[in-house]
Amino acid sequence: MGEPARLADAPTAEGGPIDWDTARATARRLVRPGPAMPRSEAAATVQRLREHAVTAEDHVRDLTGLDDGSSPRPADVVDRPGWIDAAAGGLQVMLSGLPTPGRNPVGRFTAQTAGVQAGAALAFLGSRVLGQYDPFGGPAESPGRLLLVAPNVVTVQRALHVPAEEFEMWVCLHESTHRLQFNAVPWLREHFASEVATFLSVAENPEALTGMLGRLPEALRTARRDGVRDSVGLLALLQTPEQRAVMDRLLALATLLEGHADHVMDAVGPAVVPSVETIRRKFTARRQGGGLGDRIVRAVLGLDAKLRQYAEGAAFTRHVVGTAGMDGFNAVWTSPETLPSRAEITAPEAWLRRVHG
């Protein structure tokens, strides 16, 4: 669909267990083309998305009370290859501290194989992700980059048969909420980076990896017995208590951030998006649908677990806002200690008692 603006080339720093050049090349080769549309219509869509991102952030500020004191900026609107480059660059930086295979033929083959696998996953996601806020992208002096994937927004809007500008605004409300979460909460970006670093440092421990492999047979038996059906649940069965504690904190934070954004995109209401109830109903049905192959891939990539994050996080937010008001909910942003635990996400009354007494 035309050529939306692309991000600068992703970093090419060496390091990590994956050949990212192979990952990018694989993803670009496998990703499906976007929808066909006249160049003028594509350009108009890109321009609207940039503008909607600014307007949406104003609405999010009014509803949530979050404010970073700066003027909202337009989004970076990208096509599918542009998102692949951005996502690969972010993952490359995040995983660069993990052990690197040797430069011998076996090591290069291992890294390239991992690159093909990563590229296949990026291709699958590249035709589905509507938007993304990368808190660590962009220039070092002003970190954070909001991405909107124009062909995917158009594809889903057409499939749902909902008004284009209303759906675009609805998507922008979600991603603008993420931008404000990280920009208006001074400690959140560093805390998130620290938690990811802790998780990776535990994960890269050779003894931890050996232990996970040793626990695999028992974990598979437990998964079958207890009906564990997603990769996140299986991973939890493989982990030590230390690993599980780190993962639980990250999952709780991700669930809060996604659920809060999902709540906001609906709570802003019909004054901003008149067809919001119809969009939510159709979008939720689409999220849960798909053919057998699509459902299998989603399960392998952990996307079904992510869908539960949206639902559980939104339910937590609705309950707390309904009980304590938006100001009461915003106590979650006071410090890392006031973030809900994974158990509290599904038991918001426990969080209310702990934080508000």
Architecture of domain 1-184: Up-down Bundle (1.20)
Instruction: Tell me the DSSP string of 287-315.
Output: HH---HHHHHHHHHHTHHHHHHHHHHHHH
User: What is the reported pLDDT for 17?
Assistant: 80
Using a cut of 0.85, tell me whether the model's pTM lies above it: no
**Tokens matching residue 175:** 């991603």
pLDDT tens per residue across all 357 residues of the chain: 544 443 333 333 344 688 999 999 999 999 999 999 999 999 999 999 999 999 999 999 999 999 999 999 899 999 999 999 999 988 887 777 666 666 777 778 888 888 998 899 899 899 999 999 988 887 777 778 999 999 999 999 999 999 999 999 999 999 999 999 999 999 999 999 888 888 777 655 544 444 444 444 443 444 444 443 444 444 444 456 677 788 889 889 999 999 999 999 999 989 899 999 999 999 988 876 655 455 444 454 454 555 677 789 999 999 999 999 999 999 999 999 999 999 999 999 999 999 998
| Domain parsing of the chain, residue ranges | 1-184, 186-357
